[in-house]
Amino acid sequence: MRLFNLPCAVRLMVLSLPLVLASGCAQRTPVVNSPADTVPIASSSATLIVHGMSCPLCASNVDKQLLSIRGITSADVDMGTGAVTIKLAPGSTVTRAQLADAVDKSGFTLTEVRVP
């Protein structure tokens, strides 16, 4: 009994690779890309809208990356809305670009940065 036609399966995987790569490259649209985004945030808090945090263990990757930035004192994740609220220390020099980089490293998709 042969359940798998192996050469056919391997060919299918190889042929689909360029399509997958092209699709993957198209997914990361930067929401932070202007010169102003390298200016320190002049607020005590900010809210990031992050997509793809599908489980609690996954979401903690975002906390860890954000809290590794000097000047961020807390990060609270609301998985229902994707809102990650951060508190900034007085006089911190945290920029939108740093926030975007942290979310990128965490493996999720940043869609918006809201600064009150």
Binding site for another protein (CB under 8 A): 1, 3-4, 6, 9-10, 13, 20-21, 23-25, 27, 49-65, 68, 76, 78-83, 104-109
Contact of 103 with 110, CB cutoff 8 Å: yes
Cα separation, 42 vs 33, in Å, equals 18
Nearer to another protein, 4 or 90 (CB): 4
Nearer to another protein, 36 or 114 (CB): 114
Instruction: Give least dist CB 48 to another protein, A.
Output: 11
Contact of 45 with 86, CB cutoff 8 Å: yes
**Could you tell me which residues are beta bridge partners of residue 112?**
49
Nearer to another protein, 15 or 42 (CB): 15
Structural tokens at position 19: 């399509």
